[in-house]
Structure 1
Amino acid sequence: MTIIKLGYVAMSMELENSSPSQTMTFAQFKKIKDRDAAIRKLERIAISNLENCLRLLRHNVAHDISFFRFSSKLIPLANHEELNDWKYMRPLQESLKQIGDYIRMHPMRIGFHPDHFVLLNSPKADILNTSIKQLAMHEALLKGMDVDTKHRCVMHVGGGYDDKEKALEQFIHNWGYVPQTIQEMIILENDDTTFTIDETLYLCEKLAIPIVFDLHHHLANYNDEDWFKHWQRIVDTWNISQLAPKMHISSPRNEKEFRAHSDYVDVKMFLDFLNEVKGSVPELYCMIEAKKKDQALFKLMEDIKPFDNIEIIDGASFAIH
């Protein structure tokens, strides 16, 4: 038996006016003649985003959802090169504390997935430095919530740069420049175009980083179709963590647009996977990366109910026997 806990990404399709990713472009920022007033507006947007995060967490608790990924766009223009003097964390302290207090009151697993431009294997020092600054922002947000930062940020390996083997070694080289607390925050994920599960596992095993297995990505970018032969290695990377293994689940939009995410999760594809791995771990956290967000989670819970080997636990988790 394995207990499956479902989560979703960043925003709700059910909860109105709750975007945690409201933003302001730098062009809009520059149009405000009073720079201090422009910064105060940025801060109001960031606080509004955090208030919506708290609304989302309340929505999740009402539906038994204890697994959630925050948006990485909570603070517009954070770390912009022309706003280096902006101490953006100071005005957010109270909002972050409220989120942290709520998480402790209603225990849940939360995390981030930094944007695609965060590249730890870049051969360019300026890109690496910018990436580390972005990760430091995520670390500061987690610390502001008083959440243990370990293994909370999922990342892709990065770019292939026309030589994947060299790019993997570049990641290892650059890893030495990453502060230890940020190293401990990171989890790696196999991607759908460049780094396969085997290549990502190479880094994870060498550098003691847990891996998030993305089945959809693997099917879109495989060197063989037999993903199960890697499963024990995937599970073993989590031995260093206090958290249970996690994975990403999504389904192809169609055969022609195979890499694109569908609105919902194909229950047969998901159940075929679960029947292979059940019993290998006590718990498995599955982050739904579907266009319909929480609606996809609710539909998946309904779709999975009729199967004989499924035991529903609550609104967002079940056991598979």
Structure 2
Amino acid sequence: MAAPLRRSSRFQTCEPSTQAIQPSESPRKRKRTPSDTASDAEEEDKPSSKAGKKTRQPKPEPVYIIPDVSPKETTFKGRLGYACLNTILRNKKPVKDSIFCSRTCRLDSIKKNGVDWVKDLGRKNAEDLLTMLQWNEDNNIKFMRMSSEMFPFASHAVHGYSLEYCEPLLVRAGELAKKLGHRLTAHPGQYTQLGSPKPGVIEASIRELAYHAEMMDRMGLGADSVMIVHGGGTYGDKVATLGRVKQTITEVLNPAIRARLVLENDEMCYNAEDLLPLCEELDVPLVFDYHHDMLFPSSIPPSEIIRRADAIWQRRGIKPKQHLSEPRPGAVTLMERRAHADRCESLPIDLPDDMDLMIEAKDKEQAVLHLYRIYGLHPVNHESLRPPDENQTKETKGRKSNKRQRAKEAKGEDDDE
């Protein structure tokens, strides 16, 4: 008998209430006997679909048990997005069919195989971006952060390269995003430090921003496609460092880079209150991160920060965006609470109704679909759902820090990534 069907909180999506998963178990290996050899010979005499090869039965499609959600209400009507990787497409089998935009390599591989080899990785990443955009459209997701590894080492001081070779593919991806009404953004990595006292680090940071800006410009993306960076380290003097950030933005960045630059509060060095005056002075938008604000709060309430931050976005004519993540269940210490949970269970209290909200969760697109189901925001395709991990750990190894390696990368020296 077919399993009964349930309704979601708002849209009629058919979801089986119970489904059994029957894992296949292989018998333990044992020593072969003469009878085994005879059986093999008999099998070889049987006709097969291909000469000289045995027919193999295809593996059955896995059956997923999708648990119910507890419905909640909201007036939110904005877009939810995810960052860089789609877990369903990335985990496609066989591995050669996997879809993702972060193929990368080590510097030794570039030296060995040449720049054309690494450029081909970028070309494959750009091709897969087209597939990811269409998957998002089919699943009502219109907001995504592009991987910073789309073009590996494109900003490197020695091995860097122009993206002109891949412009036709980038144009196609940009046109598809615009046609579908999707917003694409970027978030250069933690080594992008605009306030560093070391000129080499500033130079490397500018090359990284220039690479991201070039990618977006060649895609023909509009002003809403921004590049988000943190304030960076404090280097023992937060006020002096913010002064260097200001100098880099006003005196060093070219107009194309500055037009896409956005700052974000973090959980260790610069909270929203630290960055807001600088953002208001320079008309640089501020992305408000709820998780970071919880760990490193400002003395002014989130509602006031959001109001002032949104005023900058509006003056610049750019759609506002925010970031949302939650600590892992059971996290207690600061390091444990910094790590992102697999999914988010609630939208923020101060969330404006019309906001682009990036969900920074381990389960990527599943975290977005999870919130869709909780709040009834959009219809959800049941075949696109995967169950959450029941054994989510609160442990985290934290971020590794290697001063010598970071110094080499900042100078563009030849070393492994």
**What TM-score do the two structures reach when normalised by structure 2?**
0.67
Task: Give how far 1:52 is off.
Answer: 1.2
Task: Give how far 1:214 is off.
Answer: 0.2
Q: How does 1:161-172 map to 2 (within 5 A)?
A: 161-172=235-246
Structural RMSD (CA): 1.9
Out of 119, 136, 141, the residue aligned to residue 60 of structure 1 is: 136
Structure 2 match to 1:297 = 368
Structure 1 match to 2:263 = 188
Structure 2 stretches of 5 or more lacking a match?
1-74, 93-97, 382-417
Task: Give how far 1:151 is off.
Answer: 5.5
Task: Give how far 1:187 is off.
Answer: 1.0
Match of 2:260, as an amino acid?
Answer: M
Question: Is the aligned partner of 1:27 residue 2:108?
Answer: yes
Structure 1 match to 2:126 = 50
Q: Which moved more, 1:222-231 or 1:204-213?
A: 222-231
Match of 1:258, as an amino acid?
Answer: R
1:283-318 per-residue CA deviation (whole Å, 9 max, x = no partner) reads 11100000000011111111223xxxxxx35559xx
1:215-237 per-residue CA deviation (whole Å, 9 max, x = no partner) reads 10011112448323323112212
Give the SS at the match of 1:11: coil
Q: How does 1:113-262 map to 2 (within 5 A)?
A: 113-149=187-223, 152-175=226-249, 176-224=251-299, 226-253=301-328, 254-256=331-333, 257-262=336-341
Structure 1 stretches of 5 or more lacking a match?
33-37, 306-311, 317-321
Asked whether the 8 Å contact 1:161–1:167 carries over to 2, the reply is yes
Task: Give how far 1:128 is off.
Answer: 1.1
Larger radius of gyration: 2
Asked whether the 8 Å contact 1:151–1:186 carries over to 2, the reply is no
Structure 1 match to 2:15 = none
Instruction: Name the one with the larger strand percent.
Output: 1
Asked whether the 8 Å contact 1:9–1:69 carries over to 2, the reply is yes
Asked whether the 8 Å contact 2:183–2:225 carries over to 1, the reply is no
Match of 2:343, as an amino acid?
Answer: Y
Task: Give how far 1:139 is off.
Answer: 1.1
Task: Give how far 1:79 is off.
Answer: 2.5
Task: Give how far 1:149 is off.
Answer: 4.5
Give the SS at the match of 2:338: coil
Structure 2 match to 1:309 = none
Structure 1 match to 2:359 = 288
Structure 2 match to 1:75 = 151
Change in 2 beyond 3 A, CA 1:158/1:151: farther
Match of 1:24, as an amino acid?
Answer: C
Task: Give how far 1:94 is off.
Answer: 1.3
**What TM-score do the two structures reach when normalised by structure 1?**
0.86
Asked whether the 8 Å contact 2:140–2:378 carries over to 1, the reply is no
Give the SS at the match of 1:64: coil
Specify which structure has the bigger relative contact order, considering alpha-carbon pairs within 8 angstroms and separated by 6 or more residues.
Answer: 1
Give distance in 1, aligned partners of 2:299 and 2:208.
34
Structure 1 match to 2:168 = 94
Structure 1 match to 2:10 = none
Q: Which moved more, 1:13-22 or 1:59-68?
A: 13-22
Give distance in 1, aligned partners of 2:180 and 2:220.
14
The alignment-based identity, stated in percent, is 27
Instruction: Name the one with the larger helix percent.
Output: 1
Match of 2:372, as an amino acid?
Answer: M
Change in 2 beyond 3 A, CA 1:258/1:115: same
